[in-house]
Structure 1
Amino acid sequence: MSKQEFTFADLKRILLEGAGADEEIDLDGDILDVDFESLGYESLALLETGSRIEREFDITLDDDIFADNSTPRSLVEAVNASLRVTVDA
């Protein structure tokens, strides 16, 4: 059974587990609206992040999830929208 909600804390944990963090970036700071590139996460790190989200939350994300959602806030919202669709299906 998949989890019902994807949180910002889940995203931070998955980012750190999959790709680590730039020493200059404080993921505990106000980063909800900072784009992933500015946070030091390139496409390969985001692909790994997406794969980890899919496995942990038992969902399939759109191929363009990171292109369409370039900040943590918008990504969390998009993943939660996918989770709602999965639960309703």
Structure 2
Amino acid sequence: MTDDATLSNFVSADEADSDADSDPAADPGTAANTDRKTDADVGANADANTNTHATDTGHSTFAWGEYTCDRCGNATERAWRDDGDLVCPNCKKW
């Protein structure tokens, strides 16, 4: 068993029930959204978003698999990015 937690561990049963009751999409009395986008609308929005730089790619902050820590050299199945290096949980500065 790992020491990872699921999101449901942080929600009490009372909070989960109240969230389900307040969902507007589940309320049959709520009017449906009738705004529909045409292909022309979608194309116009896509053209407006083409100013991204191809060299500005994102980096992961977490990786799982078989890794070697860039700091201590130990094998790890979970690695976090810290100052550009993939490091084990013991070497990660929290």
Q: Determine which structure has the larger strand proportion and give its number.
A: 2
State the structure with more CA Rg. Answer: 2
What TM-score results when the alignment is normalised by the length of structure 2?
A: 0.20
Higher relative contact order (CA 8 A, sep 6+): 1
Q: Determine which structure has the larger helix proportion and give its number.
A: 1
What TM-score results when the alignment is normalised by the length of structure 1?
A: 0.21
